[in-house]
Chains A and B, each alone.
Chain A
Amino acid sequence: MKHSWRSLFLVVAGAVVALVSADLLMGRVFDAPLKRQVRNGLSDLERVPNVLVISSSHGRSFHILGEVLRERTADKVDLIAVALEAGKVDAMEWVLDRRIKPLILDSNGAIKEPLTHMMFGITWWDTCRHEVPNATAHNIVTHGWDESDYVRGFFSDGATELNRNYVRNLWRHIFSQSALVRTRFSISENFGRFTEFLRVMVNGNLAEDEYAVTLGRWNDDIENGYKCYLSDMDMTAMDRFVEFTKTHNLDLTIVLFPLKPDTVTDKGRENTIRPFANQMMEYGNENDVRIVDMTLGILNDQEFMLDLDHVNPAGNIKWSEYALENDFKFLTDLMSSEDNLIENTPEVSSAKESSRGTEQ
């Protein structure tokens, strides 16, 4: 075979055309949503909001809550959510301390205006500790680290499985506009028909079997959650979080985020969910913090995604509306008295429609 620069150029051109076409086609056939991560929240924090939410991956639901809140208050009340994939209170507090504080504190260390409220979205899992204490959590590396953290890690430990998470996420971020890359990374969440098809291709398992197995695993995890929840490491981090809001006069709400009802068996409810909520209520009383328990009773099974964990677009709207009319009503009251609540105007309806189709 002859190799000239011309033929090489033509090969590369053909490959680029094929790749771009495949990407466009994938975007049309199956467009996996771009998931919000810490970096999206941090970039939103270029503007200081009234309400700041720090949460696990459920922060994506809080992002929709923010959209609905802005619609209802005609942009008078702004809420920004920072979602940390894989959660854990200790990791979320790390993100607050290392990434968020520099953005919300002025040079004197005071909170920038108009931030007055903070919310902390967790589930029992976020207080559960299986890892070795003091080891850096993988999700901090993946989503919390910046370049300098990585360079420090690389030159102290070399390229390890842990710090590789940062590079992998960087690669994913660089190609985040690619439907191929987004689809690849949503296969593991069993999101949508196309990824189910690919999973069967890869694993040779039927999706229904896998659903039953996954559900069984969730049931077991929750039934045994009491063995690891409210860990010292995470509760100490929660204390630091509470301390920060108190010293800066921020109104704090800790939200126990909804779980998919069929992941919680009666045993799971008795062993883990109820005791966790009771202890968090006690914690709230002791520390004068508002605790909102939304774990069960608001959303039904159909309003969760196939990963059995995250709320789907319709569920996010339902939850946001419910929350703003009930437990989070105080957020809409943040508007000055002359501004009235805007409910169900045509603009709000169309905004809702648009948010349904965007991020999860």
Chain B
Amino acid sequence: MSFTNVEFLFFLPVIFLVYWLGPRLRLYQNVILLAGSYLFFGSWHWHLLMLIIAGTWLDYFISHQFHAKSVSGKSRKRLLAVSLLFSLGSLCFFKYVGFFATAANDALGSIGIDNALPVLKLLLPLGISYWTLQRVGYVLDTYWKRIEPAKSLLDFSLFVCFFGQLAAGPISRASELLPQLEKVRRIEARWIATGAFAFLLGYTLKAFVGEVLGESLVSRSFSAPETYTSLSLWVGVFAFAGQVFADFAGYSLMAIGTARLFAIELPQNFDVPFLSRSLPELWRRWHITLNRWLFEYIFTPLITGKGWFRGRLDIGLFLVFLASGLWHGAAWTYICWGLLHAFGMIMHRNWDVVYRGWCRKNRAFVTIRKSAIYSLASWLVTLLFFVLTLVPFRARDIDSAFVYYKGLLSSTGTQMLSFSPLAMLAFVFIIGMHLIEIRPLDKVKEWYAAIPPVLRGVAYGAAVAILVLIVPFSKGTFIYQQF
């Protein structure tokens, strides 16, 4: 089950009513949410429910051991290793064992040993990439004594698998979510209003914008790039950038909206990323919670630790983006995408060092950096880099990615993508979402806030009516759920 599945239309109102109509007790509220979350997870595959429950219990026990006075430093390390081995081991087992077995078979095949290893095709547990990172973050935070361990197993179980964020994040820090779960939630108008708005906006992005772009432009151009003109391929790759943004930012907003309906605030996951003027800025605006996790739990410990990596920023960046590529999926295309971004980040960091040197010598460079032209050029380069690196991200394999890149430069294809009015509207929607965050246009939000509530309601009602009519008929793809 996911937020855009029809079951959720029945599931959400039932949980909402049972949650708010029952006694106002933390225990009751958490039991209802946990039961709903296990039902949500189990609806994907019941037999894997034990995996998430076993991991939850193990990490709860271990996190308490970290804070027990009787446990020595060595034991703490051993316990940490057990926890990481279980969490990351199960993630690797489900996600990567098939990939590595195939790669090993390919390598062995080249020296004449065929099919040496069995390739398992495993069902991926719902959201494993997300709740594994959330649990690992909690365990490391308690190990480093940044936070106290969860007060109860119930609260911790809900922290791990709250259905609002189970399938695709946002990945919360324990310090953000646990305190909210450890107290009674009270229903307030602001929770319902902002929650419903975020959900509606997210649904519009995901079910309308993402699906329209995906169906009408992306699938066509990526399925047979050699048959399309260069212009169509450019439209296709920009449409994919729009699709992947709408798909995931939309889902994240729906998650945030759903959580608010239960008076729980989840962290923001996207912050108008297409306005970024540098790659580091983009990664602070795109899939924010994953990137801060990668930087907090991989990059920072590595480059500030006592080991060989200390101070080696470029190697740290390389490892972070290699991990990011691998996290997205066990495929060479994702690894290639991660490496391209590692390269981009390293280039940017070194360029920044050089430029800052120039600025120190000549203040004119500071003025240039603050100029509108520099900003515009930075924005354009960042956007183009990001969009172009999405080609391997979307392509079936590396060869197809090369065909696509070749076609972008020059294509012998003659087919043109037909641009439906809804695809145009979908682009306008994404651009509009970004533009209202730019200073001259941010008055739109004030103007919107000043509209009488009834008229705002009419606008929402009209939006729902239009969505009922035009949301495409498809299987409801969700790109980020597969990660």
Check if B73 is an interface residue, CB within 8 A of chain A: no
- B residues in contact with A167, CB < 8 Å: 6-7, 10
Is A351 located at the chain interface by the 8 A CB criterion? no
Instruction: Tell me the residues in window 430-483 of chain B with beta carbons closer than 8 Å to chain A beta carbons.
Output: 449, 452-462, 464-465, 468-470, 472-473, 475
A11 touches B457 (CB 8 A): yes
Residue B194, interface by CB 8 Å: yes
> Could you write out 30 A-B pairs with CB less than 8 Å apart?
A7-B193, A8-B193, A10-B454, A11-B454, A11-B457, A14-B453, A14-B459, A14-B460, A16-B457, A16-B461, A18-B458, A18-B464, A18-B465, A19-B465, A22-B461, A22-B465, A23-B465, A164-B5, A164-B6, A181-B468, A183-B469, A184-B469, A187-B473, A201-B422, A202-B212, A202-B216, A202-B420, A204-B421, A204-B422, A205-B418
11 new A-B contacts, CB < 8 A, other than A3-B188, A15-B460, A181-B468, are: A7-B453, A8-B189, A14-B461, A16-B457, A18-B458, A18-B462, A26-B465, A167-B10, A198-B469, A204-B216, A204-B420
- CA–CA, A201 to B420, complex, Å? 6
**Which positions in A face B, CB cutoff 8 Å?**
1, 3-5, 7-8, 10-19, 22-23, 26, 154-155, 158-159, 161, 164, 167-168, 171, 180-181, 183-184, 187-188, 198, 200-205
Chain B residue with the shortest CB-CB distance to A159 = B43
Nearest chain A residue, comparing its CB with the CB of B450: A1
Check if B44 sits within 8 Å of A14, measured CB to CB: no
**Among candidates B46, B212, B423, B458, residue contacting A158 with C-beta atoms closer than 8 Å:** B46
Contact A188 B461 (CB under 8 A): no
CB of B464 within 8 A of CB of A19, answer: yes
Q: Does the CB pair B457–A10 fall under 8 Å?
A: yes
Rounded to whole Å, the gap between the CB of B205 and the closest CB of chain A is 17
A114 and B43 CA atoms in complex are apart in Å by 45
Known: A15-B460, A158-B46, A168-B6. A201 touches B470 (CB 8 A): yes
A358 to chain B, nearest CB (A): 23
Closest CB in chain B relative to A123 CB, distance in Å:
24
Q: Are A159 and B464 in contact (CB under 8 A)?
A: no
Q: What are the 6 tightest A-B residue pairs by CB atom distance, in nearest-first order?
A: A14-B457, A18-B461, A204-B420, A15-B461, A22-B465, A10-B453
Given A19-B461, A164-B7 in contact, is the A13-B42 Cβ separation under 8 Å?
A: no
Report how far A116 CA is from B242 CA in the complex, Å: 62
- Measured CB to CB, the nearest residue on chain A to B457 is A14
The residue in A1, A168, A180, A201 that gathers the most chain B C-beta atoms within 10 A of its C-beta is A1
Chain B minimum-CB-distance residue to A3:
B190
Q: Which residues of A contact B1 (CB under 8 A)?
A: 159
Kindly identify which residue among A17, A200, A204 contacts B457, using a CB–CB cutoff of 8 Å: A17
- Name the B residues within 8 Å of A198 (CB-CB): 469-470
Number of interface residues of B (CB under 8 A): 45
Q: How far is the CA of A125 from the CA of B189 in the complex (A)?
A: 55
B475 contacts across to A, CB distance below 8 A: 161
Complex Cα distance, B197 from A1, in Å, reads 13
Inter-chain contacts of A203 with B (CB < 8 A): 216, 420
* Inter-chain contacts of B459 with A (CB < 8 A): 14, 18
A186 to chain B, nearest CB (A): 11
Are the C-beta atoms of A14 and B6 separated by less than 8 Å?
Answer: no
Specify which chain B residues have a CB less than 8 angstroms from the CB of A11 in the assembled complex.
193, 453-454, 456-457, 460
B465 proximity list for chain A (CB < 8 A): 18-19, 22-23, 26, 180
Distance of B195 from chain A, by nearest CB (Å): 10
Task: Provide the residues of chain A in CB contact with B472, threshold 8 Å.
Answer: 202
CA of A171 to CA of B9, assembled, Å: 9
Q: Which residues of B contact A181 (CB under 8 A)?
A: 468
Given the complex, which residues of B lie within 8 Å of A158, measured CB to CB? 42-46
B462 contacts across to A, CB distance below 8 A? 18, 22
| Any A CB within 8 A of the CB of B374 | no
Contacts of B464 in A (CB 8 A): 15, 18-19
Given contacts A3-B189, A158-B43, A204 and B454 within 8 Å (CB-CB): no
In the complex with contacts A14-B456, A22-B461, A159-B43, A171-B468 CB distance below 8 A = no
* B418-A13 in contact (CB<8A): no
**Interfacial chain B residues near A17, Cβ < 8 Å:** 457-458, 461
Contact across chains for A159 and B5 when beta carbons are under 8 A apart: yes
- Tell me whether B351 is interfacial, beta carbon within 8 Å: no
- Measured between beta carbons, the chain A residues less than 8 angstroms from B458 are 14-15, 17-18
Interface residue from A1, A164, A188, A204 paired with B418 (Cβ < 8 Å): A204
**Within 8 Å CB of B216, what residues of A?**
202-204
Name A14's closest neighbour in chain B (CB-CB).
B457
B397-451 with Cβ < 8 A to chain A: 418-423, 449
